[in-house]
Structure 1
């Protein structure tokens, strides 16, 4: 744990510049203000749900957030060579295209209607919504890894190899969240949102106990955090560090905050700090398993807390 804190401080000493970090903070604040003042994502981008323009609009949002952040980093660090790098454009463009397809993917709605004649549409919709990332993120990144980075003798598939370094710190951070989750579970607005699983009578249709459909749903729900960590901490930090070095972290954080624009503003703001910490630690450990532990642990912890509250007399 001490070694990981040392790595974090080392990164800050090497990367922190008051002018750069202030500029990035102002850029993020501007993006947050525009989005939440105009309700940009929910009222405009999502109005094209299911239409071909939907992923294109997401691409525009994410590309703007990411490339302006890279420009700021290159400007303050005097690195104009980055913009002449084919590897930079290949990696960033590849990530933007496929994450935008993921964000604007809607075919699972059709699949849910066609499977079982749509009789358990809601259950299948949410399960397939979480699983579609296999096609839109994981498979494309694996192809890139095999064709490009494995030839460069990359140690693992963008940090997917488990490593013990830092796991104690991640476990401590997760443990610190337990009292907060417990406290939140007593709030009406929390129980209005969690558990995300809803009784859809899918267990009656399939002829199985409800705990089986709950388990299937929760596994699908937990899976959706894997491609998020794989792309943002794996591909955009561990992979992109071949081009930007430690500078891969800040642009990733800004883009990562942008994917939370459809959620409460507090969640979008907290994602900035969480994304930065997980990005630095992923760069240090060359592994995304710590981020997976925290992300999935918190998600399932909130589900469990809500289930327990629902079982109260």
Structure 2
């Protein structure tokens, strides 16, 4: 844990300003209040599910959350030059477009109807929903990395590094009692497990645990592009422009992608996102974040299965 506190201390020494952190916290609180009071995402954005405007609305939400957070950082750190930096706009715009398309992607619904003549539509839908990030996030970021990034190195932290892995494993272990406690809450059991009983095991003639395992592997994969974009591309990649300032705006946007989850999970994503962002910046790797993210996700799935 000493390494964790050292990395946090070093980051805060150069980035922390009480006025900046208070302003950012108030901005995040406003976003949370508007979403959960008015049911903003479900009522006004997801009402357009499957329509061409759907990813556009997500882009407006995410861009507002992110760029106002960047403005707060540039204002309090007196860095107006960031807004004149072409690389900043190119990288942030690429990230916003990729994730907005990912959030508003719906082609997998038609693919699921066509696969096996739609006889396993529900199972195929949930699996392809988690795998579509290969097309909407991983491939575009790889093309950007290959053709547009002059600082190609380590594909935004994807190369394995041993630094910090013991620390990440310790943090994951600390989450086990919290996950156990959360599994007794009604709103938790309304969201988890994300796996749903289907006729897929009967169609394929296999035990249900096999179809559940296939789904959970697809579900776990979906956290890889999330870490790649938020901790890899937005923190490690954009740190060349924003330095330590790449973390706070990422955290606010990262909170927004949890708007469809329970309020407690969205709030905790602020703290988890900040911690993972600082550690990714320190280690120049996203593998520790993957360990925690996938470990927590599968931990919540297991806890919910056990409760039911």
Instruction: Indicate the TM-score class for this superposition, using the shorter chain for normalisation.
Output: over 0.9
Shift of 1:188: 4.9
Match of 1:124?
124
Question: Residues 196 and 303 of structure 1 are in contact (CA less than 8 Å); yes or no, is this contact kept in structure 2?
Answer: yes
TM-score (norm 1): 0.95
Q: Deviations over 1:232-270 (max 9, x none)?
A: 000000000010000000110111111111222211111
Q: 1:263 aligns with which of 261, 264, 269?
A: 261
The answer for unaligned runs of 5 or more in structure 1 is none
Match of 1:101?
101
Residue 264 (structure 2) pairs with residue 280 (structure 1): no
Q: Distance in 2 between matches of 1:53 and 1:208?
A: 40
Provide the aligned length of Structure 1 versus Structure 2: 308
Aligned 1:233-272 pairs, distance under 5 A: 233-272=231-270
Question: Residues 233 and 278 of structure 1 are in contact (CA less than 8 Å); yes or no, is this contact kept in structure 2?
Answer: yes
Residue 60 (structure 2) pairs with residue 53 (structure 1): no
Deviates more, 1:47-56 or 1:265-274: 265-274
Partner SS, residue 152 of structure 1: coil
**Runs ≥4 residues deviating over 6 A:** none
Shift of 1:178: 1.3
Q: 1:243 to 1:123 in 2, by over 3 A?
A: same
Question: Residues 56 and 100 of structure 1 are in contact (CA less than 8 Å); yes or no, is this contact kept in structure 2?
Answer: yes
Match of 2:84?
84
Shift of 1:186: 4.2
Q: Distance in 1 between matches of 2:41 and 2:94?
A: 22
Match of 2:296?
298
Q: Distance in 2 between matches of 1:190 and 1:240?
A: 34
Q: Deviations over 1:126-146 (max 9, x none)?
A: 000000000000000011111
Match of 1:72?
72
Q: Distance in 2 between matches of 1:217 and 1:225?
A: 13
Q: Deviations over 1:109-136 (max 9, x none)?
A: 1111111111111000000000000000
Q: Distance in 2 between matches of 1:85 and 1:32?
A: 30
TM-score (norm 2): 0.96
Residue 180 (structure 2) pairs with residue 195 (structure 1): no
Question: Residues 4 and 284 of structure 1 are in contact (CA less than 8 Å); yes or no, is this contact kept in structure 2?
Answer: no
The answer for unaligned runs of 5 or more in structure 2 is none
RMSD of aligned residue pairs (Cα, Å) = 1.4
